[in-house]
Chain A
C-alpha cells in the first residue's frame, strides 16, 4: 500500500486477522449469529457496517475534544443512531427496494458493540484520518468473518449460495443429492453460527500460537 504509511496500513490490516473484532475480541457476536443464515444478508450487513463505522468514526473523531466525558457513551449512541436513521430515510425515499432489504439490519447496526467499541477505544483519542482507517479496517474484519460464516451456513444448510442452488435440487434429488447427501437443517439455526465462529477461532489460533490466551 504505497498510499499509506506502514502504521496506517496496519490500522486496516490488523483487524482483518490478528486483531479481528469477532474472533479475537469476541465483539459483535449477536449480529454474527442472527443474520448469517444466508450469504446475501451477510454481505449487506458487512457493507452497511463498513459505511456506518467509517463515517461514525470520523464524526466522533472530529468531536473528540468537545464531547463531555461523563456522557460520551450517550453521545456515541446518538451519533450512530442518527447516521443510521438518516441513511434509512434517504434509502426509503430514493431506493425503496434496497431499503426493504436493509430495514432488518438498522436496529442491529445501532447496537453493534464493535461500533461502540471503536468509537470508545479509538476515535475518541485519534485524528480523523486514522480513525477513518481504523473504522474501515474493523468493519472489514467483521465483514470477512460474517461472509465466511454465511458462506458455510447457506451452502451446508440450504445447498445454495446467494439463493442460487449449487448442489442440485434437494426435492427432485439431482446433483449431489442423488448420492444420498442431505442439507443439514442445523446449519441454519443460530447456534451453528456460534460453532462455525468457534471453528474459525480454533483454526486461527492453531496457526498463530501468539494469539492463545493463558
Chain B
C-alpha cells in the first residue's frame, strides 16, 4: 500500500506548509531584530572611522575598537566635520557616515554623480581626512577607512572584509597588515599612484615609506590585489579635493 506521505497531494501540501512556516519565522526574526542590527552597524561604522584616526584600545598586537557605549560620544567629540563631495559641490552633512558606499558605486555606474563622504577628524592638533572606500576581494566585498593628512600620506587605516578566507585573506583586518600603511604616501612625485600590496618587495618591516608599496600576506594574492585596486580606484576620486585644499 502506498504510504500516506508518498502521495503527490500530501507532498505539495507539506511543501506549501513548510514554506509558510519557515517564511513567517524568518520574516518575523528578521523584522523584529532589524532595529538592533541597524544600530550595531552604525556603531561599527563609528568605531571603524575612529579606529582609522588612531582612536582605539589597541593592545600590543591586536586591533581593538573603542567600546560601543563610548563610540557615539567619541565620534561627536573627534569628528569635526562630515563632508559630502559631489563633483565640485561640497556640502556638510552630519549623517554622511551613513552613506552606503556600495549604493553610490552602483549609482555611479548608472551614470549618476557619486556622493563621496569624507570625515574630518582632529586629534591633538592634527587633522585627519578619513575616506570610506570599498572594493572586491577574492570571495566577496572588502572595504576600508583610510585616514590621510592634507598631502595624502596615510595616517591610519582600517580594513575589513565580508568573507575572505580565514587565516589568509581574512588577515587584512589584523594589525600586522593595517599598521604597515601608516606613513605610506599615496602620491609619488606629485602624482596619485595609490599603494600597492606587493609580493617580494623585500621590505617586510616596511621601513621604506615612499615606495608606494606594503608587504603582501602570503597566500592571499587576490585579496591583496583587491586591496591595491580598491585604494587606487577609490582614493583617486578624492584627489581633486586635496588639490583644492592645497591651492586655497
Interface size on B, residues (CB 8 A): 34
A contact residues around B10 at 8 Å (CB): 68
CB contacts (< 8 Å) of B37 on chain A: these are 89, 92-93
Q: Is A154 an interface residue (CB 8 A)?
A: yes
Of the candidates A41, A78, A188, which one forms a contact with B218 in the assembled complex, judged by CB atoms under 8 Å apart? A188
A163 to chain B, nearest CB (A): 8
State A188–B166 Cα separation when bound (angstroms): 10
Q: Across the interface, do A66 and B36 meet the contact criterion of CB distance under 8 Å?
A: no
Which residues of A from 94 to 113 have beta carbons under 8 Å from B?
94, 96, 103-104, 107
Q: State the CA gap A35–B164 with chains docked (Å).
A: 10
Query: Is A75 a contact of B18 with CB atoms below 8 Å?
Result: yes
Is there a chain A Cβ closer than 8 Å to B15's Cβ?
yes
Complex: A38 Cα to B40 Cα, angstroms:
27
CB <8 Å contact, A104 and B166: yes
Contact with A along B1-45 (1 / 0, CB 8 A): 001011000110011001000100110011001001100100110
Given contacts A70-B6, A89-B30, contact A94 B167 (CB under 8 A): no
Main SS at interface, chain B: helix
Q: Report Cα–Cα, A171/B203, bound state, in Å.
A: 11
Q: Name the contact of B33 in the complex, choosing from A90, A153, A189 (C-beta under 8 A).
A: A90
Q: Is A194 an interface residue (CB 8 A)?
A: no
B219 touches A189 (CB 8 A): yes
Contact B168 A37 (CB under 8 A): yes
In the assembled complex, which residues on chain A have CB atoms less than 8 Å from the CB atom of B166? 34-35, 37-38, 41, 104
Tell me, yes or no, whether A67 is within 8 Å of chain B by CB.
yes
CB distance from A77 to the nearest CB of B (A): 11
How far is A158 from B205 in the complex, measured between Cα atoms in Å? 16
The contact string, 1 if C-beta is below 8 Å from chain A, for chain B 166-178, is: 1110100000000
User: CA A85 – CA B22 in complex, angstroms?
Assistant: 11
Tally of A-B residue pairs with Cβ under 8 A? 87
* A103: chain B residues within 8 A (beta carbon): 162-163
The contact string, 1 if C-beta is below 8 Å from chain B, for chain A 117-149, is 000000000000000000000000000000000
**Is B204 located at the chain interface by the 8 A CB criterion?**
yes
Q: Which residues of A contact B162 (CB under 8 A)?
A: 103
B218 x A66 contact (CB < 8 A): no
A104 touches B163 (CB 8 A): yes
Judged by a CB distance under 8 angstroms, whether A185 is at the interface is yes
Those of A169-203 within 8 Å (CB) of chain B? 171, 185, 188-189
Inter-chain contact A82/B5, CB cutoff 8 Å: no
Contact B165 A68 (CB under 8 A): no
Which interface residue of A96, A107, A171 has the most chain B CB atoms within 10 A? A96
Decide: A66 and B5 in contact? CB cutoff 8 A.
Answer: yes
- State whether A85 touches B26 (Cβ < 8 A): yes
> Complex Cα distance A130/B36, Å?
37
* Residue-wise interface mask of A (43-79) relative to B, using a CB-CB cutoff of 8 A (1 in contact, 0 not): 0000000000000000000000111111100110010
- Taking CB atoms, residues of chain A closer than 8 Å to B168 are 37, 188
A78 vs B15: C-alpha distance in the bound complex, in angstroms? 11
Partner of A34, one of B15, B18, B165: B165
A65 to chain B, nearest CB (A): 8
Give Cα A66–Cα B5 distance, bound, in whole angstroms.
7
Docked-complex contact A69 and B5, CB < 8 angstroms: yes
Interface centre among B6, B165, B205, by most A CB within 10 Å? B165
Q: Across the interface, do B22 and A185 meet the contact criterion of CB distance under 8 Å?
A: no
A79 to chain B, nearest CB (A): 8
- Complex Cα spacing A75 to B16, Å: 11
For A185, the chain B residues whose CB sits under 8 A away are 218-219
Give me the interface of A with B, judged by CB distance under 8 Å: 34-38, 41, 65-71, 74-75, 78, 82, 85-86, 89-90, 92-94, 96, 103-104, 107, 153-154, 158, 163, 171, 185, 188-189
| Given A34-B165, A66-B14, 17 more pairs with CB closer than 8 A | A35-B167, A38-B166, A68-B5, A68-B10, A69-B6, A71-B15, A75-B18, A85-B29, A86-B25, A89-B29, A89-B30, A89-B37, A90-B33, A92-B40, A93-B36, A93-B40, A96-B43
9 residue pairs A–B, Cβ–Cβ below 8 Å: A41-B167, A66-B14, A67-B5, A70-B11, A71-B11, A96-B68, A104-B166, A171-B205, A188-B168
